[in-house]
Amino acid sequence: MYRIAFIEGDGIGPEISRATRVVLDALNARLGIKMRIIDVEAGDSALARYGRALPEHSLDTIRGSDACIKAPIGESAADVIVYLRRVLDLYANVRPAKAYPGMRGLRDGIDLIIVRENTEDIYSGLEYDIGSDASIAIKVTTKRACMRIAEYAFKLAEARDGKRSVVAVHKANLLRRTDGLFARCCREVASRHQSIRFSEMYVDACAMNLIRNPEAFDVIVTMNMYGDILSDEAAQVAGSLGMAPSANIGDTYAIFEPAHGSAPDIAGKGIANPLSLILSAGMMYEWLASKHNDARCAEASKLVEVSIRSVLSKGIATPDLGGRSSTEEVADAIVEEIKRG
Ligand code: ATP
């Protein structure tokens, strides 16, 4: 029995959560997967109720679960996910960008994954004022963090059915010590994974090449801030933020969430694209499959992919993809595919 902690989130969160739960139920019923979904209070409503966006009892529930699915959170997003990444040591932020039928992306063949180091870099919170007219931020880079993220990226490139390549993205020509250490670690790990083609790219060149030739990429491994920026770019290049899933993965825990925010501009209208959260759930099944050597979960993750492709091919899509279907209609269509599966 898998225990899955589920954060409904704010804005469009509850709508896309409902859609995702219907799909989870259909998958579990079809494949005989035993799963208990446990609601976890977190985000703006928890902040209003308990004075904390992530109350202690919610953290305990997440710690006691096998995995967590998290819908987007509003104003208090950073207090939840940034904190969880740190306390659970979720060092790999994995963000696929992929073209699906009917998506209005730049190219049809896009299928890349950005592996972003999630724990240090300029986001370590070490910012200081120097007097009243100057401020500094410290960019933290450790060999341990660089080695483990590089190792994660190479193993991913070996496991997936892609172009078997890893590009390390940095700016070591200017940041010789911090980015230089990252680059050296990637080279060292590359030498142990000879079946994977390895190359390096400066972050400005990568930003350009993601637009010029996005289908050439397979796995990109990069530092925290570069990954933050490049993954939003890649999601848009592939088509829509509403289709962008992500995973925060550590050695013990993992949290799966859309790459986008709570989209308050469309909340409550029933038109939010639920596929980002459903695809995140697909990533969760894949992770459970490899962690527990569970063939049913592997099957579930494939079925998510196949069903979404089939539904989109029939033109069933929310307005962000140019369609006219509601959040609920898209979820119901996926459930029908799963049942037929
Ligand atoms: P944040 O600062 O939390 O990232 P934001 O408003 O800047 O919030 P998003 O919430 O990610 O960014 O939304 C950016 C745009 O993408 C909005 O116009 C939003 O409506 C749209 N969008 C985001 N997610 C979806 C979705 N699942 N379906 C449809 N449109 C979406």
Cα separation, 113 vs 157, whole angstroms = 9
Active site residues: 123, 171, 204, 228, 232
- What is the pLDDT, as a whole number, of residue 108? 82
State in Å, rounded, how far the first CA of the chain is from the last one: 23
C-alpha dihedral (273, 232, 55, 88), degrees to nearest 10: 120
Residue 163: what pLDDT? 93
Domain extent listing, the chain: 1-96+244-341, 105-238
- Exposed, middle or buried: residue 209 (CB in 10 Å: 0-12, 13-18, 19+)? middle
The secondary element (H helix, E strand) that includes residue 157 is helix 143-159
Q: Are 222 and 114 in contact, with CB atoms under 8 Å apart?
A: yes
119 touches 91 (CB < 8 A): yes
Residue 171, ligand 1, Cβ within 6 A:
no
Q: Is 120 left (phi over 0), alpha (psi -120 to 50) or beta?
A: beta
| Ligand 1 atom closest to 263 (CA) | 10
pLDDT at 105: 78
Domain 1-96+244-341 shares a fold with domain 105-238: yes
Backbone angles phi, psi at 262, to 5 degrees: -85, 0
The CATH number assigned to the domain with range 105-238 reads 3.40.718.10
Q: Is 280 in the pocket of ligand 1 (CB under 6 A)?
A: no
What was the pLDDT predicted at 340?
87
Gap between the Cα atoms of 138 and 125, Å rounded: 8
Quote the Cα angle for 224-265-85, to 5°: 25
How far, in Å, CA of 320 to CA of 272, rounded?
8
Per-residue pLDDT of the chain (341 residues; tens, 9 = 90+): 999 999 999 999 999 999 999 999 999 999 999 999 999 999 999 999 999 999 999 999 999 999 999 999 999 998 999 899 989 999 999 999 999 988 877 788 899 999 999 999 998 889 999 999 999 999 999 999 999 999 999 999 999 988 999 999 999 999 999 999 999 999 999 999 999 999 999 999 999 999 999 999 999 999 999 999 999 999 999 988 899 999 999 999 999 999 999 999 999 999 999 999 999 999 999 999 999 999 999 999 999 999 999 999 999 999 999 999 999 999 999 999 999 87
Identify the pLDDT of residue 103: 80
β-sheet bridge partners, residue 257: 246
Please give the pLDDT value at position 78.
87
- Residue among 189, 109, 108 at smallest CA distance from 146: 189
Contact 112, 218 (CB under 8 A): yes
* Spatial separation of the C-alpha atoms in residues 225 and 300, rounded to whole Å: 33
Q: Residues 288, 210: contact at Cβ < 8 Å?
A: no
User: Does residue 262's CB lie within 6 angstroms of at least one atom of ligand 1?
Assistant: yes
The residue whose CA has the least distance to atom 5 of ligand 1 is 261
Decide: helix, strand or coil at residue 43.
coil
Measured from the CB, is residue 259 less than 6 Å from ligand 1?
no
What separation in Å is there between the alpha carbon of 290 and the centre of ligand 1? 31
The CA 260 to ligand 1 mean position distance, Å, reads 5
Whole-number pLDDT of residue 9: 96
Q: CATH for 1-96+244-341?
A: 3.40.718.10
Beta strand segments in 55-156, E: 67-70, 92-98, 111-117, 127-130, 134-137
